[in-house]
Every structure is written in C-alpha cells, then in structure tokens.
Amino acid sequence: MQTAMETTNGHDKKDKKEKKEKKEKKEKKEKTEAAETGDAAQKEKKDKAEGKQKKEKKDKKDKKEKKDKKDKANKEPKEKKDKKDKKEKKERKEKRKLRKEQKLKQLADQRKKAHKIGLKGTKMLASKKRKAPAQSQPELKVLMKTEDDYEPVNRWWEREDGAESGKRGAKKWDTFEHHGLLFAPDYEPHRVPLIYDGERVELPPEAEEIAYYWTSVRGTPYETKDIFIKNFWKTFKEVLPKGSKIKDFKKCDFSLMADYREAERQKRLNRTKEEKEAEKAKNAKETEWFSYAIVNGVREKLGNYKLEPPQLFRGRGEHPKQGLLKKRTFPESVTLNIGETACVPKVVGMPGHAWRDVVHENTVQWIANFEDGLLTEAKYVSFAATSGLKGQPDMLKYDRAKRLVRIIGSIRTSYEKMWTSRNVADRQKATATYFIDKLALRVGGEKDTEEEADTVGCCSLRVEHLKLTPPHTVHLDFLGKDSIRYTNSVEVAKQVFDNVQGFIKGKKQEDQVFDKISPADLNEYFKNFMEDLSAKVFRTYNASYTLQDELNKFDVSKRLHKHKTHLGNSETMDTKEANKTVSLGTSKVNYMDPRLGRLGEYRQEFVMTAGARHRANQGPPLQIRSEEVLGLYPSPLNYMGFPKSVCVSANEVICHGIPDSRPLQEGDIVNLDVSVCHEGFHADLNETYFIGQCDEECDTRTCDAAQHPQSVSHHLVRSTYDALKASVALIRPGTLYRQLGGVIEAEAVKRGCSVVTAFCGHGVGRLFHGPPDIPHFKKNKTVGLMKPGHIFTVEPMLNLGKSRERLWPDGWTAATRDGRRSAQFEHTFLVTEDGVEVLTARVGTDRSSMPDYDPAAFQR
DNA sequence: AGGAAGACTTGGAAAAATCTTA
DNA sequence: TAAGATTTTTCCAAGTCTTCCT
C-alpha cells in the first residue's frame, strides 16, 4: 500500500530539511572517509585485535561477572543509602517469597479440588509436572504470573462511571502512593580543555560544565543564533574564574570538547547488542522504582518522573531567553502530591536535601510540581499517556468533539447572523469564530514578548499578518505555535472579507485585527452552545473529521497496522497535501481517538469488522466470570450477546458461526470452537473436521496437486494446521508476540492461501478475551514479550480465496466474501520456562509441542 | 472585571528502537 | 550484517483554559 511518497507539492520545510540532512550526511561521510583513509592501518589492527578480544572477552565475561559479584559482596557498603537500598531489596524479596508461598498454597488447594471434580482449569494446568519425578523432593514447580510479569491494565472504560473522574476538578483517587522523583545525575568533569585564541585552557568544573553544554547544540541552528550566543556568553562569563583571559566569544574554540562529546556518543552507538541490552536492563532496574504510582490500588505508569537535567534553554523561534542556563532542580523546589496514608518517599541521590512541601490534593492529576530552572513557571510531573488518569480526560475530549459535530450547524447559523451585527465586538467574535471553524486556527492568547517568542493565533492576529485581495480572498502569514510559519490563502465568505477589511481600516501594521475581543470572550460565546465547548475543541473536531475522511478511503477491517495514515497538514488543513504519506507523530496522534491508535486494548476492537464494532458498542458490557462462578461453563454463551455455547463454522464461514438446525452434508468441512470457563478460568480451542469424503475439485491456481492429491479442502485444512504448528514452535520466553503472525502468513502464502486479518488470538485467563492481541499476519504491531506463565491462544484462519470477510446479518457469523472455504485451528498455550505447553492438547498426546498433521484425526 | 496563577493539552525535535535492503 | 529508512519513545517547550485573587 505504499503510495507515492513525495507528490509534486513542494513543502518548503521538508525540502529544506532534506537538503540539510543530505548535506550533513555528506559531511559525515566525508569525515568518516577521511578518518578511515588516515587511520586505515590502525583500524585494521584494531579490528583484528577486537576480533581476538571478542572471543577472549566471552570467556572472561563469565569470570568477570563472578568476580564482580564477589567484589560487590565483599565491599562494605560505604554509604547509608546503599544499606537502605539493600534492606529495602531484602524486604521486597521476602515479601515476594511470602506472596509466592501463599499463592502456592492456594494453587495446591485448588488443584485438590480440581482432582476431585476430575477437571482441570487452564490455570491449574499451568502447574504441570514438568520436572522429572526422580528428584528427591517432589518440589512443585509452579509457574504463575506475578505483578512483575505483565502490565496490569486499569480498565476504567469498563466501569459504570466511565471517564467521570477525568473531569477537571473531579476526585481522582482515595489512596495514592508513589516513590518520588529521579533527580538528574551530577555533572562529571572530563577535563578536556577549551582552545582560546589558539591556546589550550583548562576550565574549572563549573565553567567546563557550561562550555560542555554549549557543545550540545553543535550542528543545530542555535549554534549560529544571535540571541542564543549572546545569552550563552553571558552565562559562561559568569562562571569563568576572576582574571580569566577568556574575553571574546569569537576566540573560543570548543571543538576539542565537541569532539569529546561526539566520541562519547559514538562510543554509545557502537556498543554491542549485549552491552546495550545490559545497560538497558540496568537502567530499567534503577528507574523502575520511580516509574509507577499506585492509584486506588492499581499500578499506573508515570510520565516524566525524571527531573530535567541542567542544560542551555532551547526556546523556539526568537525566544529571548534561549541560551541561558536552565538550572538543576533540587528537592527544595519540588512539591509532592501523595495520599495522606502513603509513606512520603525519601529524597534519593541528594543527601541533605528535602522536599519543599508535601500535599494531598486528590482533584489534580500531578504527582509533583517543581519550579523551572529558568522560567518563572511551574512544571508538573504527571502520568504516562497510557494511564487511566490521562486516558479519561482524553476520552472526554473526543466526546466533546463528537457533541460539537451535532451542534456545529447551529453555531454556524449563529455566527453568520452575528457577523452583520452593529456591535463591533460581536462582529469580531463572529468573524474570529469563522476562522477558527473553517481554518482550525488556534485561539491565540496574548503573550509577553519580553519573556516569550512573538507568535500569534486567531485573536492576536495583527494587521501585518493579513492581506486582502478582492473580491474575497484573505492571505494569512504569521508565526504560530512553536514559531512555525502559517501561510494560507483562502476564499472566505463575502461578509467575512468585508468585516476584516473594516476591522483593519485605519489601523497600524502592529495593531490587532480583533482588538475588541479576547479568547475568554470567544469561549464565553461558545458556552452558549455547549457547556464545555472551547476554541480548541474545533481543532480536535476538525482533525478527527479529516482523519475519518481519510480512513474512509481504506478498507478499515483490513490491516490497520500496515497502513500509514494519510493526513493533511494539520497546520494548514490543505487538502492537496493530503496525498502525502506521513507517519503519525505525536502531533497527529494527539488528535486521534485513542481507540484508533494509542491504547492497545482498543486495537482489537478496531480491527474487528464494522458490524462487530457496532455490537461491541451496543451490546452488554464484557462479562467477567470470576472465581465465584464455579464448575464448568461454556464461555461463549451470552458473551457479548452470543446466543449459543459453541461456534460452528462450516465451509465458507470463517468463525463465530451460530449453530442451527441445518444438517451437515457429505463433503463439508466444519469448524467447532469450544471454550469453557472452569472455576473462573477460560480455555479456548477449535478444530476443523472433514464430513465424509471431501473431494471437492482441486483448484490448480492455489493447489499443489502433487503434494496433496486429495482435494482443496484437505489442502486448506492441512495448511491451516501447519501454520498454527509452525507458529507454536516459536512460543517460548523471549519471543515477541508479533513474531507469530509472520510465521503464519509465510506458511499460508507458501500454500497459496490467505490469512484472515480481522480476527486474532488473545490472552486468556480470568478474562475470556484479554491482552495481548495476537494477530496472524506479518508486520503487525502487537506489543509484548512472552514470559513464563503467560497464557494465550493462537487461532489462525486461512482462506482458499481472498482474505476479506463479510458479516452475516446475525451480527456474528463471519464468512468469506468470495464464498470459498475457510479453515481454522486454535489452541490455548502456556509459556513455560523453556518452551510451551499446549493446554488444550488432546488427552494422551505430548503437550510440549503440536503433533504432526494427521488428517485421520479430523475425519468424521 | 481582568490579570495572574495553576493545571492540563499539544506538538516539535531528537534519541532510541525496529525494520528493510543490499 | 551493516547501513539506511522508518517508527516509536522521550523530552520538554509552548500552547489553552479554568480558577483564584485583588
């Protein structure tokens, strides 16, 4: 689906960027080439040496690790902090042990029960005796999920009150605990000198630090910006020792330091895969403690819990403070927000420091705020975008946009009436609303140009930003948010043109066009139509509308993940630009309903057909059968309104067929999908069977007759089984869930079949359908890494013809569009320490892998 | 009323991760 | 398997909008 990448539309910014990049690349190449020719001999030596060393390293590594461990153990903890950490670790370990033991007990009890009943639930099967019974102590090896194994999901959207608590000022929590913030690491001096007027000058650490920050902008436009240089020089001079001979910026040569920075960067880039992974793991270990909060007992991921390191401020555009030092944040400028009953977290890594304040505000979504190291404003530490606390207001935002769609007509009628008002303010209000509605301009609050860059939005537009061409064309040219230039020529309503002409009449270039109104006035006007309507909702509405429009051009039920969404430039809303393929940056994603893009939990819903989605929206809420439902129960019965206990899908039916009274006929193939809930845990299984002699004629286009002489149906069923089997071979700790799809599709393609993309495998346990989603096609974007204890299904559906499906009017049955046959196999799998256990394997078969395909097993 | 403070969203740049290609 | 391309994540600047204060 890759469309032409760059169309004829010259996009200035992009072009420039590209040129720049090309230049840079060239330069880089030249540099590296030069370096290579010069040091070729040395490099070769190095490489050879490295090759030798690698082997040695591997051998040594183990030894070293052991040594390190020993050393660590021997070293007496120098600081109290270490002691505390160790204590805490010990405590946590012990707690975990306790928890495990308790779970073990529970499990053992459950198993006893299960034996009595003579049935095993999926979870019980998790504890299969994998170890040889020869061991002296028949120690039960239990694989189970712990908190660390997977991300708990706050399924707030399934609660009755939904996103209610996402409203501004609403209560967000009853209990709330977190571990505080991670302070930026100290600056480590490197003693690389500055060259001043041709002479090497070693700087004291404070000065070296500022100079080193300067090198971080090398290669960026800041390097040559007057304001940035001026401010940097001011900052730098202040930290130079008295009597320093450094007097003139132009005589300063920072290249040694810059080279050092680059070398360090290269060092990082050139780390081996193992080194990178090790460091990542180490970092994760260090930061994990800080990265979660517990909100009402649910673990929620935090966003920016790492405090900003000191650096030269990189204000955008002509920001007057760019180049000044943004100072380090100390605990004394941090206010924590935490539950009354929670422990106040210790200040870590800043001995002798203390929090400025601790508050217990349960109507706000921040966990801490701190003073910016340069600007006068406060900054907030809050939750990650995937958290419920961010998701709820997000949901409300899209609801607002949806409601705006309903009333936009009346708003337009209103302002079209008001733009002829005698009252200038009203006329301005109406005209400004027109621009916000039609062009999705930002509302444009007033700014202090002494402190910030001079940028504008709708209300702050000045005469100099507009040009009028009769009869009714308005040319806009101004710097918007982030000093990004907005240029657009639009034909506007005649009245709007006349109004604007009237507003700017007799005004100076630097005067405001809409001088009689402010953003507050506009928002007040919007409140007449909808209580929570404000100017920015128009942008959400506008962008969502455009996105939907673009999405309508695709068959959405197909591979969402593969598509790059086509979007217009959200700044200009220029539809001609819409033919460009762009990746979804944060900017565009921000305008998308999370059901489309962000929350993994929604993804499956989106991949489902329109009918299924409709049902999901209309139908009863997901039924969670928990431990209080004992015994055995058919999972599908009443699940989201499914009327029967088993899915029966014959011939062209892909899945979710509702059993009825029609008799099966000789030559049919039929899939039976059986799912049970036992003591609160679900298991899922299906197989495709041959009814009598399946001798449908072979289709030579899709069928290799030599390999499978029987019939097309046999070929299809065999292929489906083999696709599942091939993917199962991958199941083991460390495999990415998304890898399975690639194997399945490859197998299908090899056999001339297509893979159904609208339905996927899923996590299973207490929930019939839980995370993760497991698509059966390649290049899918499902998240997650298999770990021991994970339980899920893989259930590829293969079609003889095309992969597209059609939903029957019953709202459930999915059949192939072309009427050709479809087959499916499904099992429930457990990831064990060293591989897989097929939880739904046939009695008496080996559970550690799928048996080879045997058509006799499916002959009826 | 209107300006400042406070709180929260939006969005660009760059780094990191991942995929593709030769 | 390295280089290059593309996507995702991280970081933090810069908006909007509500509430508070005088």
Say yes or no to pLDDT of A132 above 50: no
Q: Which of A630-644, A711-725, A773-787 has the lowest mean pLDDT?
A: A630-644
Q: Is the CB of A400 under 7 A from strand B?
A: no
Instruction: State which amino acid sits at residue A642.
Output: F
User: In chain A, pLDDT over 90 holds for what percent of residues?
Assistant: 31
Say yes or no to pLDDT of A207 above 90: yes
Higher pLDDT, A586 or A358: A358
Q: What are phi and psi of A592, to 5 degrees?
A: -90, 145
Q: Distance between CA atoms of A776 and A310, rounded to whole angstroms?
A: 47
Q: Are A494 and A431 in contact (CB under 8 A)?
A: no
Say yes or no to pLDDT of A421 above 50: yes
Q: Are A805 and A756 in contact (CB under 8 A)?
A: yes
At a CB cut-off of 8 Å and minimum separation 6, what does A296 contact?
Answer: A173, A174, A175, A176
Q: Taking residues A122-141, what's their average pLDDT?
A: 31
Q: Which of A60-64, A161-165, A652-656, A716-720 has the lowest mean pLDDT?
A: A60-64
Say yes or no to pLDDT of A584 above 50: no
Q: Taking residues A66-89, what's their average pLDDT?
A: 36
Nucleotide C18's nearest residue (CA vs C1') is A168
Q: Is the CB of A271 under 7 A from strand B?
A: no
Say yes or no to pLDDT of A134 above 60: no
Identify the three-state secondary structure at position A137: coil
Long-range CB pairs of A49-58, under 8 A, 24+ apart, other chains included: none
Long-range CB pairs of A587-594, under 8 A, 24+ apart, other chains included: A588/A543, A588/A547, A591/A539, A591/A540, A591/A543, A591/A544, A591/A547, A592/A544, A592/A547, A593/A398, A593/A544, A594/A391, A594/A394, A594/A395, A594/A398
pLDDT at position A137, please? 39
Nucleotide nearest to A380 (CA to C1'): B7
Q: Residue A23 CA to nucleotide C20 C1', Å?
A: 53
pLDDT in tens, A291-319: 989 888 888 889 899 999 999 999 998 89
User: What average pLDDT does chain A have?
Assistant: 73
A272: exposed, middle or buried (Cβ count in 10 Å: 0-12, 13-18, 19+): exposed
Q: Is the CB of A585 under 7 A from strand B?
A: yes
User: In chain A, pLDDT over 70 holds for what percent of residues?
Assistant: 70
pLDDT at position A632, please? 65
pLDDT in tens, A212-246: 999 999 888 898 999 999 999 999 999 999 888 89
Lookup: tokens for A337: 């927000």
pLDDT in tens, A241-256: 988 889 999 999 999 9
Q: Is the CB of A485 under 7 A from strand B?
A: no
Q: Is the CB of A161 under 7 A from strand B?
A: no
pLDDT at position A110, please? 39
Q: Residue A29 CA to nucleotide C3 C1', Å?
A: 12
* Location of structure tokens 């999370």: A594
pTM check: above 0.75? no
Q: Taking residues A579-591, what's their average pLDDT?
A: 41
pLDDT in tens, A402-413: 889 889 999 999
Nucleotide C7's nearest residue (CA vs C1') is A583
pLDDT at position A350, please? 87
pLDDT at position A131, please? 30
Question: First CA to last CA across chain A, in angstroms?
Answer: 42
A 415-454: CB within 7 Å of strand C: 442-445, 447, 452-453
pLDDT at position A341, please? 87
Confidence at A695, pLDDT banded by 50, 70, 90: low
Q: Which residue stretches of A590-637 are H helix?
A: 600-607, 610-618
Q: Are A816 and A801 in contact (CB under 8 A)?
A: yes
SS3 per-residue string spanning A745-799: HHHHHHCCCEECCCCCEEECCCCCCEEEEECCCCCCCCCCECCCCCEEEECCEEE
Say yes or no to pLDDT of A596 above 70: no
Instruction: State which amino acid sits at residue A506.
Output: G
Q: Taking residues A614-626, what's their average pLDDT?
A: 27
Higher pLDDT, A838 or A136: A838
Q: Is the CB of A113 under 7 A from strand C?
A: no
Say yes or no to pLDDT of A392 above 90: no
Q: Nearest to residue A515, comparing CAs of A528, A529, A525, A505?
A: A505
Q: Is the CB of A770 under 7 A from strand C?
A: no
Nucleotide nearest to A539 (CA to C1'): B10
Q: Residue A779 CA to nucleotide B20 C1', Å?
A: 12
- The residues with which A761 forms a beta bridge, in sequence order, are A774
Q: Nearest to residue A502, comparing CAs of A416, A419, A434?
A: A419
Q: Taking residues A118-146, what's their average pLDDT?
A: 31
Q: Are A479 and A462 in contact (CB under 8 A)?
A: no
pLDDT in tens, A508-552: 998 999 999 999 999 999 999 998 999 999 998 888 887 777 766
Confidence at A195, pLDDT banded by 50, 70, 90: very high
Q: Is the CB of A438 under 7 A from strand B?
A: no
Confidence at A554, pLDDT banded by 50, 70, 90: low
A 718-747: CB within 7 Å of strand B: 738
Q: Are A193 and A173 in contact (CB under 8 A)?
A: no
pLDDT at position A327, please? 92
Long-range CB pairs of A74-83, under 8 A, 24+ apart, other chains included: A81/A348, A81/A349, A81/A351
Instruction: State which amino acid sits at residue A557.
Output: S
Q: Distance between CA atoms of A739 and A775, rounded to whole angstroms?
A: 9
Q: Is A591 a catalytic residue?
A: yes
Confidence at A154, pLDDT banded by 50, 70, 90: low
From A591, A639, A689, A721, the catalytic residue: A591
Q: Is the CB of A623 under 7 A from strand C?
A: no
Q: Residue A575 CA to nucleotide C8 C1', Å?
A: 27
Q: What DSSP state is assigned to residue A856?
A: G
Confidence at A620, pLDDT banded by 50, 70, 90: very low
Say yes or no to pLDDT of A21 above 70: no
pLDDT at position A727, please? 92
At a CB cut-off of 8 Å and minimum separation 6, what does A801 contact?
Answer: A754, A816, A818, A819, A820
pLDDT at position A200, please? 93
Lookup: tokens for A146: 């712990």
Q: Nearest to residue A456, comparing CAs of A432, A488, A485?
A: A485
Confidence at A385, pLDDT banded by 50, 70, 90: confident
Q: Taking residues A469-488, what's their average pLDDT?
A: 91
What nucleotides of chain B have any atom within 7 angstroms of a protein Cβ? 5-14, 16-17, 19-20
Delineate the domains of chain A, giving CATH numbers in brackets: 165-183+278-384 (2.170.11.10), 194-270 (1.10.10.41), 390-545 (3.90.15.10), 632-858 (3.90.230.10)
pLDDT in tens, A458-467: 999 999 999 9
Q: Is the CB of A17 under 7 A from strand C?
A: no
A490: exposed, middle or buried (Cβ count in 10 Å: 0-12, 13-18, 19+): middle
Say yes or no to pLDDT of A77 above 80: no
Higher pLDDT, A713 or A827: A827
Q: Is the CB of A365 under 7 A from strand B?
A: yes
Q: Taking residues A422-432, what's their average pLDDT?
A: 92
Q: What DSSP state is assigned to residue A308?
A: P
pLDDT at position A281, please? 82
Tell me how far CA of residue A195 lies from CA of A217, A249, A250, A615, in angstroms.
Answer: 18, 11, 11, 71
Lookup: tokens for A221: 């436009």
pLDDT at position A428, please? 93
pLDDT in tens, A624-678: 222 223 356 677 876 776 777 789 998 889 999 988 777 788 888 999 999 887 7
Say yes or no to pLDDT of A114 above 80: no
pLDDT at position A591, please? 53
Identify the three-state secondary structure at position A254: coil
pLDDT at position A801, please? 85
pLDDT at position A696, please? 54
Q: Distance between CA atoms of A41 and A51, rounded to whole angstroms?
A: 15
Lookup: tokens for A451: 């402190």
Q: Residue A378 CA to nucleotide B5 C1', Å?
A: 10
Q: Distance between CA atoms of A330 and A378, rounded to whole angstroms?
A: 14
Nucleotide C4's nearest residue (CA vs C1') is A25
Confidence at A688, pLDDT banded by 50, 70, 90: very high
Q: Taking residues A611-617, what's their average pLDDT?
A: 28
Q: Judging by DSSP bridges, how do beta strands A357-359 and A334-337 pair with one another?
A: parallel
Range picked from A482-486, A617-621, A639-643 for highest mean pLDDT: A482-486
Confidence at A435, pLDDT banded by 50, 70, 90: very high
Q: Which of A146-150, A358-362, A525-529 has the lowest mean pLDDT?
A: A146-150
